[in-house]
Structure 1
């Protein structure tokens, strides 16, 4: 029995097939990728792969899980995935990439009634399991923690990696990449990092107060590459008005791939 997982990112698409053997490929995500381009990438990968029993898709943006479609996303065109069922005579399951990352974390999700995974990458998103149920983003988008307000703007727009560089440029008139800012290369960078720690810690405390997670995990490029920074934000959140018991904290490593693993979990859930 072969299952296929596909994790679509803004810069990279990872495809993996597991069955009698394992096949894995990474492809650059085409700019403003169309459905036809995704279809070519998927079909090219499937050459030489045994007929799959199930395919799981981790997709950034607003998805329609029942209709197997991407409705909207930044940098990716809306597209339909139902053709995979027809062409490969298999079952297909898809989810928003944050939801897939929660499924693909290293801990056993079934052991927790309340859990949250926060993805801090170019933007910020999160997935929540509460009261034993996953609050799928296409059904519960209004509670998306990444879009909670922290002061006068959303957590996503303040602390997402894409916006950190914009904030530095607004303050200084100079451009720096996020990794240069995190290195603390100037007084201006240090001041911005201090603001980011305050804003992140407030958002983390709000998540704990709102959802009382027993476990809180972090993934995404900023979280994995700046784990000490995230740990400092978590530590500061303890000093705020956290009413619930503080959760277990997990920060994904650089080599961990919760989105990829989550796509395979989505496939396994069908079987």
Structure 2
């Protein structure tokens, strides 16, 4: 079986005039299959639909696409499944066509082998020299314009660092290069606001819900490096990693959070599809 499928007709090529290719006019979801189903699929769909509306188009998966997605998840039980949605084929120029048919691109890949090691051992971050611009009209959406992340990843990491901690141009902490961040202060847990930059991850939202169920206070707010320095623990999350402890940020050490493994287990249990 091929690893990429494109709609409206499955197994077809992407048009060179597709707005996702020409302008980055679209969005995507990175999902994880587990035990033959995709974790938090309903929430991923909801976020895609909300993001599409913010970008000015309507998207809804049809029955044929849902059948293919179900088949892919069953055949690839522990993989990364990426769903990319574009506004479809459009004419020349930035203005969107009056009528367009969205393009959906489904792809499957293996989960990076070092992610399991990160979950067991934690990771080290270094503050990125590349900062994120602020744009509230796009903030929170996992849109296709990822050039900032490309620039971040193009910088050479220090030998003892695994990933970047990224700030915006106002020196507010946003997250890792590909994950959301949480800072633990006793029974209070803070995660950066995504009002001006960054991605509001599906797993981030599920973690917030789970932390509240576990009796923690959760605050979504602006966080600085000074705030992070005073935290008891720091962890990060995305759909493939779930929960990973941050052991240090440059020369600043942190103790792994005692609740990380319990939170990771509760996340898997909380998905109603399991």
TM-score, with length taken from structure 1: 0.25
* Higher share of residues assigned helix: 1
TM-score, with length taken from structure 2: 0.25
Structure of greater relative contact order (alpha carbons < 8 Å, 6+ residues apart): 1
